[in-house]
Amino acid sequence: MAEHEEKRHFVRMNIETQVTYTVKGEESVTHHGVSGDLSATGLYMITDYKPAENDIISIVMNPSGDRLPPFVAEGKVMRIKPDEDDVNKFHVSVELTQSS
C-alpha cells in the first residue's frame, strides 16, 4: 500500500463555528452556515443556501465568541455538493481571496 503524500501547502484546521456570509451583488440577504475546516487559502462549510460556483462571497466567522475578533474574509465558491442526508443542506468549498 502506497503512503499518502500530503499535497497541501498550508495546515488545515478543523474549526466548527457559525459562519455568516453574503453573496456579491445580493448583500441585502445574509446566509448562515457552520464551518468544517479552515486553512490559509480555503474554507469548507455546510450551509442551507446553495450559492453558485464562482460566486464571490463575504464571510464572517466568530470562532471564540467575544474572546477574539471575528475572522473576516472574501472568497470564491469553488465546489457545491448536496448533503446526502438532508436535501436542505449543501457542502461548500471556498477559495479565500482576501482575509483580515
Who contacts 88 (Cβ-Cβ below 8 Å, separation ≥6)? 48
Is the distance from CB of 57 to CB of 22 less than 8 angstroms?
A: yes
How confident is the model at residue 2, as a pLDDT?
Answer: 46
Who contacts 59 (Cβ-Cβ below 8 Å, separation ≥6)? 19, 20, 21, 43, 71, 72, 73, 74, 75, 94
The residue written with cell numbers 442551507 in the block is: 48
How confident is the model at residue 29, as a pLDDT?
Answer: 96
Q: All 3 cell numbers of residue 89?
A: 443542506
Residue 11 has pLDDT above 80, yes or no: no
Nearest to 33 by CA among 75, 70, 61: 61
pTM of the predicted structure, to 2 decimals: 0.81
